[in-house]
Amino acid sequence: MRRVLVVVLSLTSLLLLALVTVAGTPGSTDANTPREASATHNEPDPTTSAPRGTQRPAEQAVAQTVPPLPECLVADEPAWGGTYDEWRYTLLDTRFTLRPDYEPPDLVPVAGAFPAGTGEAAGGRLRSILIDDLRALVADAAAAGRHLAVQSAYRDYAYQAQTFQYWVDAHGYDRALTTSARAGHSEHQLGTALDLRSLDGPAAWDLDDWATTPEGAWVAANAWRYGFVMSYPLGSQPLSCYSYEPWHYRYFGRELAAVIHASGLTAREVLWTLAHGGAP
């Protein structure tokens, strides 16, 4: 399966064409999809220069291999791409899960991405592979007058179980399913997902919409440039399985993040596409 991914990713433009084609198919858009939200970005949209309608047969074939996105079932099936090396492609939702003992071997203090002396802005640990890009994001945000902090980073299986139970106790099981991940299903267990907040602000989930604050808006517009993507955009619940979380970002690396951003699709849709790209 990884060989397929290598092929697909080595043909980024081809994938982009496939994703653009998917985004344009009937039934894949509605008034509340993140595609609408993506229109708020002011930077040039690479998809506008894609040669729509000029795909060669091979490109059309890739697009046609993309299966419909599955429903957000509540189950415990092993995640596709569930090894530490496949962190970019690991598909987690209410159905697909990591092993309880999944703990990346390269977790390092998040504080390493922040200037010395500002350790209070960043507790917890994340995978070392993203620290350089997180440092660049934090520094460029600060240069623009947007000062960020990390609210939550890696969570192990047991901690995630406590977190989910907290929300069950607070709001009941059914609502907790849409606002929190069951243990094993959280992107936080990957060590590549983090919850951001404004340095001088409360936890972002205590605000109506962190993405409307100067910091949240800056991150929403620019995170992809550093390899980070908002996992659960506004109005994406039927696609992403979770309600809007403007503070929750997952690292995909700059190349894949740019593809996801340009596609206008949710990360889950792109990962599902990659998981089945070229599959028989």
- Residues in contact with Zn ion by CB under 5 A are 195, 248
Please tell me whether residue 74 adopts helix, strand or coil conformation. coil
> Minimum distance between the CB of residue 154 and Zn ion, rounded to whole angstroms?
11
Which of 35/248 has CB closer to Zn ion?
248
DSSP string, 209-235: -GGGSHHHHHHHHHGGGGTEEESS-TT
Q: Which is nearer to Zn ion, 21 or 163 (CB)?
A: 163
Instruction: Please give the sequence-ordered ranges of beta strands (E in DSSP) within the chain, or none if there are none.
Output: 77-78, 96-97, 107-109, 125-127, 148-152, 193-198, 228-230, 248-251
- For residue 101, the minimal CB distance to Zn ion (Å) is 21
* Nearer of residues 19 and 181 to Zn ion, judged by Cβ: 181
Residue with tokens 């010395």: 116
Nearer to Zn ion, 146 or 248 (CB): 248
Which residue of the chain is nearest Zn ion when measured via CB? 248
Q: How far is the CB of 229 from Zn ion (least distance, A)?
A: 13
| Residue 188 beta carbon to Zn ion: minimum distance, rounded to whole angstroms | 6
What one-letter code names the amino acid at 172? G
Please give the C-alpha separations between residue 274 and each of 57, 78, 85, 103, 247, in angstroms, as whole numbers: 19, 17, 15, 24, 25
